[in-house]
Amino acid sequence: MENIRITNTPYDDVFRTLLNDCSFLIIPVINEIFGEHYSGQEKIVFSPNEHFLNQQDGNEEERITDTNFKIEGRQTKKYHLECQSGIDNSMLVRFFEYDTQIALDEGEIKGNILTVTLPHSAVLFLRHHAAVPDTLKIRMETPGGNVEYDIRVMKSHQYMLEEIFEKNLLFLIPFYIFSHETRFEEYEKDKTKLVSLKEEYELIKNRLEELLHQGAISEYTRCTIIDMSNKVLEHIAAKYNSVKEGVKAVMGGKVLEYEAKTIKREGIREGIREGRREGIEQGENRLSLLIAKLMESNRSQDVIRAAQDKQYRNKLYEEYLIDNEK
């Protein structure tokens, strides 16, 4: 089989950023694709995206999935999701490679039986044509019989704004611009039509503000969705300046890196510094108490001095760590 090299797109990066920074947004997507009923309070446990596949020539080839994770609820299930801006002939091959490797990573051997569990797999299509089915299929013909499983398909074009907010599919908002892609040239030439596009994005911004005020999302999540929407817009409308600048003017400029993400990062760092300061104080108190007890029990000077030396070294080390966090 021909070795196909896959290049990540900016849309893959947006997909992964949303998953990493606002992972709870994927829960309603899973509910929609697989008919699950997760509440949103479940724990999401991400697995490494890098997999090394053995090739026929003995070498290993690294492949990176868009994401694979477990949702721990009443029962634990594994999921594998990919984001595709279009259909390519190698996609099903990649799904099979990824799914089997994900299964092997946690395979279990008992006696002479290897048990592997394939993940629930799905693909989000950002572009698609009418012939794209709602389900793709992988069939394996084995000596013990035929086995097949489905790859669920989610088509972002099918979701209008009202449905996105009704079903809490906020994860799809950065990709919503794909539903207007075929009309970019119209918007560029006709300012009246461009106004209608800007009005839709005004609605998106206002609905996100409402969710923020209701406490349904955080400021960080709101900023992430806006920033990722702008990133998608920069690439998909690169040749259409009026479309790009018009939507960005409504949604706001690049805010995430300079505001929300910086605030979050600094908060984490300050928390680490405070934690280490508390750790120093607690450690010093414990060692001081130990030294006092050693002296009360007339232990040898060597034992007492060793405890004092440890206290001094710990203090120097912890202060060094704190200084280097700044």
List of residues 6+ apart from 108 with CB closer than 8 A: 114, 115, 116
Q: For residue 192, is pLDDT > 60? A: yes
How many other C-beta atoms can be found within 10 angstroms of the C-beta atom of residue 68? Answer: 22
- Residue extents of the structural domains in the chain: 1-158, 174-254, 268-325
Identify the band that residue 172 occupies on the pLDDT scale cut at 50, 70 and 90: very high
At residue 305, what is the residue type? R
Reported pTM: 0.72
**pLDDT tens digits along 194-226:** 999 999 999 999 999 999 999 999 999 999 999
Phi/psi region, residue 183 (left: phi>0; alpha: psi -120 to 50; beta: rest), is: alpha
pLDDT of 132: 84
At residue 69, what is the residue type? F
**pLDDT tens digits along 229-244:** 999 999 999 999 999 9
Mean pLDDT over the full length of the chain = 80
**pLDDT tens digits along 22-66:** 999 999 999 999 999 999 989 999 887 554 444 445 454 545 556
In terms of C-beta distances under 8 Å and separation of at least 24 residues, what long-range contacts does 34-41 make, across chains too?
34/79, 34/120, 34/122, 34/152, 38/71, 38/73, 39/73
- Please tell me which of 100-104, 193-197, 307-311 the model is most confident about, judged by mean pLDDT: 193-197
DSSP at 89 = T
